[in-house]
């Protein structure tokens, strides 16, 4: 069996976004100087790279699993289970790091926690679907978690862009 062409196309879009975010975060992290909060900025670069790599891997995973000839439903359940577990681990690690680093202001700290809660709010239903509750919607749950990853990457990208020091005249 194979995946539907719409699913493959959507996974391709996520893979392209992931590669773009990973590339931009690498360039920003390598060649930029930052105005303030270097530790928080380093965390954002790491978070973007990890999230972008996860997006790329999990964009390719369903196609790889489907290549073994399993049904589309089984493909999504296996992929969803792996994405749910990896996503939960990433959220826990990032929330722990964020709690140490975001001591500079309440708004930034709360933004980190809101993003973590958003991620968990999309991962929990995916894991429930993988376990058998509403299993017919597991592909939609998978794409929702992937979209959440893109949103978090975009947030970190915007925060990195605002932290870049453009030239020596800027103080």
pLDDT tens for each residue of the chain, 171 residues long: 689 999 999 999 999 999 998 888 777 767 666 555 667 777 888 888 899 999 999 999 999 999 999 999 999 999 999 999 999 999 999 888 877 776 655 457 778 788 889 999 999 999 999 999 999 999 999 999 999 999 999 888 888 777 766 555 544
Classify residue 114: in a domain, yes or no: yes
Residues 53/56/57/61 CA torsion (nearest 10 deg): 170
In angstroms, the CA 39 to CA 101 distance is 7
Residue pair 45/25 in contact by the 8 Å Cβ criterion: yes
The whole-number pLDDT of residue 106 equals 46
Please say whether the beta carbons of 142 and 136 come within 8 A.
no
d(C-alpha 81, C-alpha 22), whole Å: 24
The range of the structural domain enclosing residue 50 comes to: 5-165
Domain count, the chain: 1
Spatial distance between the Cα atoms of 72 and 63, rounded to a whole number of angstroms = 10
- The verdict on residue 131 lying in a domain is yes
Q: How many contiguous H segments (helices) and E segments (strands) does the chain have?
A: 5, 2
Residue 171 lies in a domain: no
For residue 146, count CB atoms less than 10 angstroms from its CB and return exposed for 0-12, middle for 13-18, buried for 19 or more.
buried
């Amino acid at each position: 069996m194979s995946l539907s062409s719409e699913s493959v196309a959507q996974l391709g879009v996520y893979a392209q976004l992931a590669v773009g975010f990973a590339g931009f975060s690498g360039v920003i992290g390598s060649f930029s100087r930052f105005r303030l909060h270097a530790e928080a900025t380093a965390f954002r670069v790491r978070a973007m790279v990890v999230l972008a790599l996860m997006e790329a891997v999990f964009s390719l995973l369903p196609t790889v699993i489907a290549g073994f000839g399993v049904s589309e439903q089984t493909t999504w359940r296996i992929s969803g289970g792996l994405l749910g577990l990896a996503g939960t681990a990433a959220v826990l690690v990032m929330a722990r790091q964020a709690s140490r680093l975001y001591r500079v202001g309440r708004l930034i700290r709360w933004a980190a926690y809101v993003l973590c809660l958003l991620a968990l709010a999309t991962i929990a239903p995916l894991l429930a679907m993988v376990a058998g509750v509403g299993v017919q919607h597991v592909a939609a749950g998978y794409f929702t978690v992937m979209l959440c990853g893109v949103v978090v990457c975009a947030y970190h990208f915007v925060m990195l862009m605002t932290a870049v020091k453009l030239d020596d005249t800027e103080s």
